[in-house]
Each structure stands twice: as structure tokens, then as C-alpha cells.
Amino acid sequence: DADVTQTPRNRITKTGKRIMLECSQTKGHDRMYWYRQDPGLGLRLIYYSFDVKDINKGEISDGYSVSRQAQAKFSLSLESAIPNQTALYFCATSEGGRAADTQYFGPGTRLTVL
């Protein structure tokens, strides 16, 4: 079973709809992250959370919100989806802040906003 799972894997929605993307992890990590990827632009950080009570904005948080329901769950919401939010969204986790700690990524959610 995958350590970091994302649901749904694919979603098509219309402009103005509210959308929630969910991320769950079984790695027992405290830190979780949401990124979006657009063609040719690499990954850009939306929000990150270092523990259940800690939420931080990333580079491109406008138009998004997050909820850290538990150590293992981190959800990303688009309150009113717009077409330029069409992208591939990745959730990631990491154990802590040591130099040896890597980030583990989920399989991604492909979101299309019409």
C-alpha cells in the first residue's frame, strides 16, 4: 500500500465550484505539504504544516485553503475554482527538519476547471 495517498486522482469541475482534495499518509510524519505543478514550471508550494496546530502559507496560497484534521490527514480546498487552477496537485510528507530528511510525494491529483 502507498504511504501517501491522494483522493481523487482525477477531477473535472466547473468554474465557481468548491473542491476539496484530500491527502492521507501512513508514514507517521508530522510535516505535510501541498504543491501544484503546471507544465514547464516545476512544483510550487501552496501550503505546509509542521504539525496539527501549525499551518503556513507558501508561494501561491491565494485562492486556496487547507485543513490539518489529524497528523495523517491534510486537505486542500478551492473555495471557488477558476480555470487557471487547472493543474497537477501533489501532497508530500516529511519526518522533520533534519538535513537528512527527504520529502515523500503522493501520486498526484489532476484537476481540470472548465
Please pick, from the candidates 45, 52, 55, 72, the single residue that binds other proteins as defined by CB under 8 A: 45
Least separation in angstroms between CB 89 and other proteins: 11
Cα(94)–Cα(102) distance, rounded to whole angstroms? Answer: 6
Relative to beta strand 109-113, strand 10-13 is: parallel
98 C-beta neighbours (distance < 10 Å), count:
7
Number of residues that bind other proteins (CB under 8 A): 27
| Contact (Cβ atoms closer than 8 angstroms) between residue 107 and residue 2 | yes
Looking at beta carbons only, is 106 or 113 nearer to other proteins?
Answer: 106
Instruction: Confirm or reject binding of residue 53 to other proteins (CB under 8 A).
Output: no
Footprint of other proteins on residues 57-86 (CB under 8 A)? 58
- Dihedral class, residue 42 (left if φ above 0, else alpha if ψ from -120 to 50, else beta): left
Residues that bind other proteins (CB under 8 A): 33, 35, 40-45, 48, 56, 58, 88, 90, 92, 97-108, 110
